[in-house]
Amino acid sequence: MALLQIAEPGQFAAPHQHKLAAGIDLGTTNSLVASVLSGMAVTLPDAAGRHLLPSVVRYAAEGVVVGDEAKLAAVEDPLNTVQSVKRLMGRGLADLKTLGSTLPYDIAYREVGEGREPGAVSLDGSGAVPRIRTRSGEVTPVEVSAEILKTLARRAEQSLGGELTGVVITVPAYFDDAQRQATKDAARLAGLNVFRLLNEPTAAAVAYGLDQRAEGVHAVYDLGGGTFDISILRLHRGVFEVMSTGGDSALGGDDFDRALAQWIMAQAGLGEDLDPVMQLRLTRLATGIKEQLSSVESAEIHLELPNGGRWQGSIDRETFNGLIDPLIAKTLAACRRALRDAGVTAEEIEDVVMVGGSTRVPRVRERVKELFRAEPRVDVDPDRVVAIGAAIQADVLAGNKPDEEMLLLDVISLSLGMETMGGLVERIVPRNTTIPVARAQEFTTFKDGQTALALHVVQGERDLVSDCRSLARFELRGIPPMVAGAARIRVTFEVDADGLLNVTALEETSGVKAGVVVKPSYGLSDSEVERMLRDSIAHAEDDMAARRLREEQVEAERVTEALRAALAQDGDQLLDAGERAGIEQALKHLVETAASQNHLSIKRAREALEKVCEPYVERRMNTSVRQAMAGHKLDEFES
């Protein structure tokens, strides 16, 4: 009887043969899938030979349609055709107002958590989750993205002839935890095993083969349809270290189209209250004009008006440049911040790699060349470069190249920390820390007999919790009752390679443990990220003063509680009336001073109280020693 060879799905029977893996660029405008074939990473086409898959999903009467067919139907069926869904990933109601776009959808909002008003959003990650009403029912951005991923996965499996063992999916470097988690949720919904999420600029560097160079500092300028990223990478013997990152996950070529569409509206005398069909028609027209102006100096415009008439005009490249210059300036400002964060100058950058279809716009290349004083590299197709880099990384993670090492070190964009007494932030993982990373710090209890501890995880650069973003709250219960400060609680922050955060707290004497995986239901808008970084610099002195004040107030409260407990226990036995009156007077002065806004006054009042209490403290210590030695001989204590 013949022996059948058995292999896992996605693997050949011979263990040394290629395992099937793919890299996916889940883009705002277009998406791609790539894989390594015969040692070379290539993007995979569909049956019609098309490599780019428009990131458009239509919920039609006959079922879900993805890609070119959905894009063609968008003008006739805008309410059931979802485009640029990447902009909605990991976002909530409040974020939609900052996206700078008119969404031609019927948006619904479903509550997460109870006891909230409709549309409410809280900073700890709960609140309204946007859902798009379609003829197939309400769908979330995650579900829409999952349809795109399913289509790409089917294309890969048909091209490769088997099931995928796993994929690497790229995300903008500036995607926050919520946006990354939403991307992983979409992949899981699509039935994909995600090896890891990879930052798009890092994927581009891999595709350009920069990992083969000995060392150097490089910039990756990634301007797609809806997102912008800038990353400064140091490359040394195949190790990618992201020195800094920045960008805007709501800025891209779509905004170029919108600026041009608004100019056309003004020239044609159209108002702002256009129906969804006319909005899409204008956007589609603006996109075509933009693409023409990348190769010609002027373009003719022919527009069908809502009243059935026609408008005709023209625009030259110089006028178009004037429309998009403010948007390009935003990207350059992010580039300068990234250079400062990395501690390098523009002159130290060896290569500027251009990524994303929007970098085909000549004005973008001109301005980038002016900033970095170097000719941008455009020798790899900017639309395909990210998917190709993801495919190379997926091939390594699948185990097809066991002898090849490729270490990709990304960073977190904002500091992570814990709230401590007084509403202060104790930063545990500083911004621009290389990930994956695990950092731990010990905390303790504030009051005698405390058996539980509330932990508050925050994100930001300011010293006060009120100026940072709340990420999660959880409690550690079952702490053995001890005197204040005796418990040892180790709090560990773990950020994985995908940029997702896990926080655990362990009381070391008892072993009780609690934790939380931070999964906020909506993201931090990029304007908020920028504001938080800017405020941390502008308010540095104020924050330092506020921290000193709160630290002194907390210390005053601790001293006050400890002294009152001691006086209640043995104050009458160890102090005469005069001594106790002096201590009570100094204690009253500290309590009154602690309510002031002067940290130096509080410190002086606390030190004065400690000075007055010195004889009392000494007597308490002597009493404790005598009690401990009672019934024992001196030689019992000798070593």
Does residue 533 lie in a domain region? no
* Residues 115, 136: Cα–Cα separation, whole Å: 29
Assess contact for 450 and 484: CB atoms under 8 A. Answer: yes
* Residues 268, 311: Cα–Cα separation, whole Å: 6
Looking up residue 574, the CATH number of its domain turns out to be 1.20.1270.10
Active-site annotation, residues: 25, 86, 200, 222
Which residues of the chain are modeled with pLDDT < 70?
1-18, 93-105, 109-129, 210-215, 236-240, 249, 401-411, 413, 432, 497-499, 518-544, 547, 625, 628-639
Are 257 and 247 contained in the same domain? no
Bridge partners (DSSP) of residue 442 are 490
Assess contact for 388 and 399: CB atoms under 8 A. Answer: no
The tokens for 114 are 């109870």
Cα–Cα distances (Å) from 553 to 421, 466, 601, in that order, read 10, 17, 11
- The DSSP output letter for 121 is B
Does residue 10 lie in a domain region? no
Contacts with 611 (C-beta within 8 Å, 6 or more apart), sequence order? none
φ/ψ of 33, rounded to 5, equals -130, 140
Looking up residue 306, the CATH number of its domain turns out to be 3.90.640.10
Nearest Cα residue to 593 out of 579, 604, 582, 580? 604
Q: β-strands 228-236, 434-435: how paired?
A: unpaired
Are 428 and 547 contained in the same domain? no
Cα-Cα end-to-end distance for the chain: 80
Does residue 478 lie in a domain region? yes
Is-cis flag, bond preceding 104, omega within 30?
A: no
Are 275 and 169 contained in the same domain? no
Does residue 531 lie in a domain region? no
Nearest 10 degrees: Cα torsion 325, 330, 335, 337 = 140
What average pLDDT is seen over the chain? 80
Centroid of chain to Cα 386: 19
Nearest Cα residue to 518 out of 425, 418, 403? 418
Are 574 and 617 contained in the same domain? yes
Assess contact for 468 and 460: CB atoms under 8 A. Answer: yes
Are 236 and 311 contained in the same domain? no
The tokens for 5 are 């060879």
**DSSP structure string for 126-166:** -B-EEEEEETTEEE-HHHHHHHHHHHHHHHHHHHHTS--SE
Does residue 15 lie in a domain region? no
The tokens for 515 are 């934790």
Task: Give the tens place of pLDDT for each residue, 310-368.
Answer: 899 999 999 999 999 999 999 999 999 999 988 999 999 988 989 888 999 999 999 99
Task: Please give the pLDDT value at position 362.
Answer: 94
Are 405 and 492 contained in the same domain? no
Q: How many domains would you assign to the chain? A: 4
Q: β-strands 407-411, 239-248: how paired?
A: parallel
Does residue 489 lie in a domain region? yes
Q: What angle do CA 117, 123, 125 make, to 5 degrees?
A: 85
* Residues 533, 528: Cα–Cα separation, whole Å: 9
Assess contact for 101 and 87: CB atoms under 8 A. Answer: yes
Bridge partners (DSSP) of residue 510 are none
CA torsion sign for 609, 615, 621, 624 is negative
Task: Give the tens place of pLDDT for each residue, 258-275.
Answer: 999 999 999 988 877 787
Domain end residue (candidates: 277, 292, 324): 324
Q: Which domain holds residue 470?
A: 412-523
Cα–Cα distances (Å) from 9 to 150, 161, 398, in that order, read 17, 11, 13
Task: Give the tens place of pLDDT for each residue, 40-79.
Answer: 899 999 989 999 999 999 998 888 999 999 998 887 888 8
Are 392 and 423 contained in the same domain? no
Task: Please give the pLDDT value at position 478.
Answer: 86
Task: Please give the pLDDT value at position 318.
Answer: 95
The tokens for 569 are 């226990």
Task: Please give the pLDDT value at position 1.
Answer: 33
User: Residues for the chain: how many in total?
Assistant: 639
* Residues 489, 472: Cα–Cα separation, whole Å: 18
Does residue 204 lie in a domain region? yes
Assess contact for 301 and 313: CB atoms under 8 A. Answer: yes
Looking up residue 31, the CATH number of its domain turns out to be 3.30.420.40
Task: Please give the pLDDT value at position 327.
Answer: 95
Q: β-strands 194-199, 166-171: how paired?
A: parallel
Q: β-strands 166-171, 21-25: how paired?
A: parallel
Are 244 and 370 contained in the same domain? yes
pTM reported for the whole predicted model: 0.59
Q: Which SS3 state, helix, strand or coil, does residue 42 take?
A: strand
Are 47 and 169 contained in the same domain? yes
Are 359 and 456 contained in the same domain? no
β-sheet with 137-139: strand ranges across: 107-110, 129-134, 137-139
Are 440 and 492 contained in the same domain? yes
* Residues 103, 105: Cα–Cα separation, whole Å: 5
Are 182 and 201 contained in the same domain? yes
Task: Please give the pLDDT value at position 68.
Answer: 92
Does residue 13 lie in a domain region? no
Residue that the structure tokens 């992983």 belong to: 184
Task: Please give the pLDDT value at position 8.
Answer: 40
